[in-house]
Amino acid sequence: MGDGNAATARYGRRLALGVTLCAGLAACATTPTPLEVAGPPPDPFAVNEAVTAPRVGPPAPGTDGGPTDGYTFGQDEERMKAAGREILTGQADGAAYLYTTDHRIGLMAAQPGQGARTLSYSGRDWYVTCSPEGATRCVIRVATAQVEGRPIQDAVRFLVDPSGESPVEVCLGPDGTHDGTFRLVNLRRDYTAGSSGCLSARDAKRVMDAVLAGEDFQFRYTDASGADVRGSHTAFGLNRALALARWLGARVVAA
């Protein structure tokens, strides 16, 4: 499958805001006053809330810590400020990550060698949101590749129960997607999504077992506009993103 995407203009406008970090640490640190940045959009989980013009500060005091799925979050982290929000950054077994102090938004590197300030949704890192509405649910998203003249959108979504009691749901594309195929590249196995764009529980488990073990994947689906969207992604960082999602979600539940 080729790496590409298509999306509606409506969805493109929402994602065009992006999630960016300051490219130069020194430039941020020497700014005498906080940079003026746009306030958050109405959607509290919009992607541009996570990181905008951060300023480096001292490590956050009193953060909770402890092992989660083999990774430790909440310890030895740096604090930054973005659009009036506190952002904490760290490393999980060689993968950079960040999250907001309300534990509702996070990013995990999808390739080695990245620093926290380079993470972004549009850069195809693992983007985590945890909603406190009703039963808390966290979603790990990864974007389609950025192609000139085409907006990006969700390539794949992993829906996570923070308690870990329920299997992870695997869905293709953004809301409104119908049908599609999830392919495990090296194993050469295809799994077909239902009319909702999501895999069956049995297939989702097989996919998660393979991807968490390091299997890269390809995807193809039809989005709400009827466009055929195709692409691929590596598995790097998804196991860490899953641990981060459960850690964040547990704190949203407890809040």
How far is Cα 119 from Cα 128, in angstroms, rounded to an integer? 12
What is the CA angle 210-111-56, rounded to 5?
135
Which pTM value belongs to this model?
A: 0.72
Dump pLDDT digits (tens) for 85-137: 789 999 998 899 999 998 989 999 999 999 888 898 999 999 999 987 655 78
Q: What is the structure's pLDDT at 82?
A: 66
65-89 residues labelled b (16+ CB within 10 A) or e (exposed) = eeebbebbbbeebbbbbbbebebbb
Dump pLDDT digits (tens) for 42-59: 333 233 322 322 223 333
- pLDDT average, residue stretch 184-192: 92
Q: Report domain extents, the chain.
A: 9-254
